[in-house]
């Protein structure tokens, strides 16, 4: 039987999980994810992979979509209050999260819940939950201590977050809760909340966080992530941006195997194939590798370049085109890309923000290394 604690950082309290696993009933193993962005990314797959291990061993997996807690904002690892998404954004993200999670989990054997089911509670029930702790206890967390030392504000809502997450464990009667190492405080608070409500406290198991190509933690808010649902070419290309020194970690945590002692480039190509194949299938992985070889390694345009119609007007505002057709996040980001020589029109670096229409009609426009678009003449 596989060791379910492999690659775990914390398994608390010590020895309790082994006692649970020796019992006769399947465990209820919980993971909560707040739909604060549109994507589940590769960092999430480390803990999702651990959840899938429990599922393969016959335990009951409970995936909680935090559509209520997303409105509060998890302070874990934050030096400032997290910007809160709108209700419309939360609903749109929640609708896609479970489909993305099913790339790793067995759909038929996964219990999916939204925590708005139980957290839209009556005032009396909320006051009862708040009575289970003190402000001093909530302020013990490192994130808040750092903010207090730097005179940074702490929103009252943020103080509530670990209690609400802990009540999730009460609602689903969790035996085990999983999370990244940044979730340790929240998960331990869940033990306290469960005990206050007369339940056996859950076991806490944390998994490592992974860094991205920029040397910082992979994060939806930073945009430095590889999403499970994004285009195969983007997944492959972003994986190839990872520095060689991260390969051992990615093989161990993402592929769940030892890194090969081969050329780092070949190891990275195998990692990129794995990531794309898991999300989109073997054919997509093969096509993504061909695209990467042609466009990035050989410096040619892709075999199939998408086309789009130019908007009305002359001249045309190039940053607006990049936002609309190339997935650039904002016009200010597009301006930076242009100023850095990252936008080319028929192979020539674009230097102007407003471009004559005649120069764009029929032209092949490239943004960065991997994004191309052709604008046929009317």
Statement: residue 156 has pLDDT above 90: no
Note whether 119 and 262 are same-domain residues. Answer: no
Q: What is the pLDDT of residue 355?
A: 92
- Cα(326)–Cα(336) distance, integer angstroms: 14
Nearest to 45 by CA among 208, 175, 169, 232: 208
Number of structural domains, the chain?
3
| End position of a domain, from candidates 144, 174, 207 | 207
Note whether 116 and 260 are same-domain residues. Answer: no
Give residue 297's pLDDT band: very low, low, confident or very high (50, 70, 90): confident
Note whether 123 and 42 are same-domain residues. Answer: yes
- Reduce the DSSP state of residue 310 to 3 states and report it: coil
Is there a contact between 82 and 70 (Cβ–Cβ < 8 Å)? no
| End position of a domain, from candidates 191, 207, 223 | 207
| End position of a domain, from candidates 168, 192, 207 | 207
What percent of the chain shows pLDDT beyond 70?
A: 99
Mean pLDDT of the residues in the chain? 91
Nearest to 152 by CA among 161, 143, 140, 162: 143
Asked whether the whole model's pTM tops 0.85, one would answer no
- Residue-number span of the structural domain to which 150 is assigned: 10-207
- Reduce the DSSP state of residue 65 to 3 states and report it: strand
- Reduce the DSSP state of residue 206 to 3 states and report it: strand
What percent of the chain shows pLDDT beyond 90?
A: 60
- Give the start-end residues of each E strand in the chain: 10-12, 28-33, 60-65, 110-114, 176-180, 203-207, 316-317, 343-345, 348-349, 354-355, 363-367, 371-375
Residue 19's domain is classified under what CATH number?
3.40.50.620
Class of residue 158 by CB neighbours under 10 A (exposed 0-12, middle 13-18, buried 19+): buried
> Looking up tokens 């490239």, which residue turns up?
366
Statement: residue 14 has pLDDT above 70: yes
Note whether 22 and 170 are same-domain residues. Answer: yes
Answer whether residue 155 is part of any domain: yes
- Cα(81)–Cα(72) distance, integer angstroms: 10
Residue 325's domain is classified under what CATH number?
3.10.290.10
Give residue 1's pLDDT band: very low, low, confident or very high (50, 70, 90): low
- Cα(360)–Cα(325) distance, integer angstroms: 14
Class of residue 34 by CB neighbours under 10 A (exposed 0-12, middle 13-18, buried 19+): buried
Class of residue 74 by CB neighbours under 10 A (exposed 0-12, middle 13-18, buried 19+): buried
Mean pLDDT of 178-205: 96
- Cα(272)–Cα(287) distance, integer angstroms: 12
The string of pLDDT tens digits covering residues 32-67 is 999 988 889 999 999 999 999 999 999 999 999 999
Answer whether residue 37 is part of any domain: yes
Q: What is the pLDDT of residue 258?
A: 92
Give residue 328's pLDDT band: very low, low, confident or very high (50, 70, 90): confident
């Amino acid at each position: 039987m596989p060791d379910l604690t492999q690659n775990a950082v914390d398994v608390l309290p010590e020895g309790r999980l082994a006692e649970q696993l020796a019992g006769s009933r399947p465990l209820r193993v919980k993971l909560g994810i707040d739909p604060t962005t549109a994507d589940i990314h590769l960092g999430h797959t480390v803990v999702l992979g651990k959840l899938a291990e429990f599922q393969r061993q016959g335990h009951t997996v409970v995936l909680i979509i935090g559509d209520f807690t997303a409105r509060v904002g998890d302070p874990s690892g934050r030096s400032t209050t997290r910007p809160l998404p709108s209700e419309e954004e939360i609903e749109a993200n929640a609708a896609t999260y479970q489909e993305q999670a099913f790339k790793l989990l067995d759909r038929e054997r996964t219990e999916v819940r939204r925590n708005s089911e139980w957290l839209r509670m009556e005032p009396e029930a909320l006051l009862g939950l708040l009575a289970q702790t003190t402000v001093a206890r909530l302020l013990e967390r490192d994130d808040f201590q750092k903010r207090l030392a730097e005179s940074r504000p702490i929103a009252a809502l943020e103080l509530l977050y670990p209690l609400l997450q802990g009540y999730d464990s009460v609602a689903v009667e969790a035996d085990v809760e999983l999370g990244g190492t940044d979730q340790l405080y929240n998960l331990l608070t869940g033990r306290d909340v469960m005990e206050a409500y007369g339940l056996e406290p859950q076991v806490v198991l944390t998994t490592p966080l992974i860094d991205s190509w920029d040397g910082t933690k992979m994060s939806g808010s930073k945009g430095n992530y590889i999403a499970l649902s994004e285009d195969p070419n983007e997944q492959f290309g972003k994986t190839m941006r990872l520095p060689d020194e991260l390969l051992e970690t990615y093989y161990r945590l993402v592929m769940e195997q030892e890194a090969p002692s081969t050329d780092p480039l070949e190891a990275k190509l195998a990692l990129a194939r794995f990531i794309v194949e898991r999300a989109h299938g073997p054919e997509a992985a093969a096509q993504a590798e061909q695209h990467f070889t042609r466009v990035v390694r050989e410096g040619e345009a892709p075999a199939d370049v998408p086309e789009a119609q130019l908007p009305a007007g002359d001249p045309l505002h190039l940053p607006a085109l990049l936002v609309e057709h190339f997935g650039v996040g904002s016009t200010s980001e597009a301006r930076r890309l242009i100023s850095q020589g990252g936008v080319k029109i028929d192979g020539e670096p674009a230097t102007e923000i407003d471009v004559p229409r005649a120069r764009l009609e029929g032209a092949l426009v490239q943004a960065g290394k991997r994004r191309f678009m052709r604008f046929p003449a009317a």
